[in-house]
A and B are shown apart, each in its own frame.
Chain A
Amino acid sequence: MLVEQIMKTEVITCQPHETIESALQLLNKHRIRHIPIVNEDNQVIGIVSDRDVRDASPSIFQEKNETNELKNEIQSIMTSPVMTIHPLDFVEEIASIFYEREIACLPVTKANKLVGIVTEKDMLHTLIQLTGVHVQSSQIELNVINKPGILPEVTAVLGRRKVNITSVLIYPNQNDQRYKILVFRLQTMNPTPIIEDLIAEGYEVLWPNMPGTI
């Protein structure tokens, strides 16, 4: 999946000479946490987070409100240079940038101009979609030997029943490196026949496993 498929294209921005106060108003009005600072050519020259603005604001314990902190230019507190990404970058790569750099927002630029923005929240939403939990489905988990060709063998069993697969996740079995866990979300309310088929074929079904009835 590409950044251009998940980025927001309507970006709230500030010019460098605007006041911190106006940035604060934008943050509150749009309920956002980051504002890219752009010049007249729409090039990103800095970024400001809600925390930067708060740091620059007078303390709530300060009694007189005559301070002028918020009248300063936004460029006086912006972070620069800014890490940006391209619309054709892969979403997976962006996820590791968020993780490694401990940042929560990335402006997207094309030909050096701002075209969009991706936040950690957009990223999480994308991951939720990838797991398939937003679509009506049941989940089955299998523990399978980690060898080439196992996935088509399993999906062949699923394919015999007319059931649509909503999503497939594969991850290593942490207890035993020789195995992998396959997680399927299936568009059916009754996965029982499929589970029976899988068990009959010798697969280890981790879930659902029924409690022992007497």
Chain B
Amino acid sequence: MAKYAGNHLIDCSSKFVYSSDFASYCFYDSHPFNQLRVQLAYELLQESNMLHNKHLIEPRIATEEELQLVHDSKYIEAVKKAGKGQLTEEEGFPFGLGTEDTPMFDNMHEASSLLVGGTLTAVDAVMQGMASHALNLGGGLHHGFQRKASGFCIYNDGAVAIQYIRKHFNAKVLYIDTDAHHGDGVQWTFYDDPNVCTLSIHETGRYLFPGTGNVNERGIKQGYGYSFNIPIDAFTEDESFLHVYETSLREIIEYFRPDVIVSQNGADAHVYDPLTHLCSTMNIYEYIPQLAHELAHQYCDGKWIALGGGGYDIWRVVPRAWAQIWNIMSTGAPLTGSLPLEWLNKWQRKAPVTLPESWQDIHPLYEEIPRKEEITEKNELSLNKALQFIRIKSGFSS
């Protein structure tokens, strides 16, 4: 079988879903979830001459019927009312609306439906054969629940898109979530579904939101054995992160043999991220999409839909990390060297921090982690526990 890994330049047909209206998903100006990230990544790619009109597709708006593939109509009604300023604090509370994490904002239903629509547009492009891969950096809102907003997420575009794939294309979906937070909303939506396999690698929930994502969350009923969780310790570094990622993904995909991959590419495991306690660098944001890309070709005839997600250092981390997904998706390799001056000049003026000048991080970014060996060992144990189930089934040796 053809190998697509490494730096072989190949021109896959890929689509980039973008609209400046993604920025309408805005709780308030200083809220950590800031969709300016998407524009920053988009402009970085344009200035790098990586993104052209032929690549771009406009997101559509998800219909209510599509939202109902995952969400309760009562919840959707509440979001609509909240967006018009007609929902009281008491009415909002049971739906998670009006909290510090997910405050109400004007036209929140429309803004959230656009993000879901963007992901559905990406799905259509791939599943209808217009492209092998598609990227919607406006999506990846994995904490949205059936009838509750949480963790900065209103509607769960990933979950809606997977239900949509199940319904219209009857394909088996592998969902890969490398956001530093547990992909709980998507996991619980498909917890009893053997045709949707979820893999979430995240910082342990001992301290970090949402607290779930334990190794023993494996699914229920027919879905037992199709949810994988690998919680990694605070202060985990690149090497251990990537070992966990590569080992788990290769074994799980061989076991599950999906028809299509949906990846949530949150970029909040970087050492600079203010909300999490992992110590990754840009290295992981080059390898994560590279392996997803390779395996999509090996197992899924190329079918891969990549989404955004978390990422709260919107200046130094997210634009580069997300732009590299596209670079790898469209050419098979990440970019190296300096970032385009035009981009740096434009945005340095607005950034409260000094922007990095190259695609790769200049090491060291942080002081040595004193308990590195123990952390690596603990992650290895979690990895083995998570994979134990399929190793027994498929005769893998650990």
| Chain A interface residues toward B at CB < 8 A | 133-139, 161-164, 185, 187-192, 207-208, 210-214
Contact = CB atoms under 8 A, between A and B. Distances in A.
B99 interface: yes
Given A214-B366, A214-B367, A188 B277 contact: no
A137 B207 CA distance: 8
A136 B365 contact: no
Query: What 5 A-B pairs come out closest when comparing CB atoms?
Result: A136-B210, A189-B209, A189-B151, A138-B209, A139-B207
Nearest to B93: A164
A208 B101 contact: no
B205 interface: yes
A192 B277 CA distance: 12
Interface string B348-361: 00000000000000
A136 B206 contact: no
B143 interface: yes
Contacts, number: 79
B271 A213 contact: yes
B152 interface: yes
Contacts of A208: 207, 234, 277
Given A139-B206, A190-B100, A213 B366 contact: yes
Contact of B271 (A136, A189, A211): A211
B233 to A, nearest CB: 12
23 contacts: A133-B205, A133-B211, A134-B212, A136-B150, A136-B210, A138-B208, A162-B98, A164-B99, A185-B211, A187-B101, A188-B100, A189-B151, A190-B152, A190-B275, A192-B32, A207-B207, A208-B277, A211-B271, A211-B366, A211-B367, A212-B367, A214-B365, A214-B367
A211 B277 contact: yes
Given A133-B205, A211-B271, 18 more contacts: A133-B211, A137-B209, A137-B210, A137-B211, A139-B206, A139-B211, A162-B100, A163-B100, A187-B99, A189-B101, A189-B151, A189-B209, A189-B210, A192-B274, A208-B234, A211-B279, A211-B367, A213-B365
Nearest to A131: B211
Question: Interface majority SS on B: helix, strand, loop or mixed?
Answer: loop
Interface string B179-215: 0010010000000000000000000011111111000
A211 B205 CA distance: 18
A162 B211 contact: no
A43 B101 CA distance: 53
A138 B271 contact: no
A136 B209 contact: yes
Contacts of A213: 271-272, 365-367
B275 A135 contact: no
Question: Interface majority SS on A: helix, strand, loop or mixed?
Answer: loop
A189 B395 CA distance: 39
Contacts of A189: 101, 143, 150-152, 181, 209-210, 275
B371 to A, nearest CB: 11
Nearest to A133: B211
Interface in B81-104: 98-101
Contacts of B279: 211
Contact of A211 (B100, B212, B369): B369
Interface string B232-275: 00110000000000000000000000000000000000011011
B212 A136 contact: yes
Nearest to A162: B100
A189 B364 CA distance: 28
A161 B99 CA distance: 9
A166 B211 CA distance: 12
Nearest to B181: A189
Residue among A136, A211, A212, A214 with the highest chain B CB neighbour number at 10 A: A136
Given A136-B209, A214-B367, A192 B100 contact: no
Given A137-B210, A211-B367, A212-B367, A190 B32 contact: yes
Nearest to A190: B32
Contacts of A207: 207
Interface string B141-181: 00100000011100000000000000000000000000001
Interface string B293-332: 0000000000000000000000000000000000000000
B184 A136 contact: yes
A133 B213 CA distance: 11
Nearest to A186: B209
Contacts of A191: 209
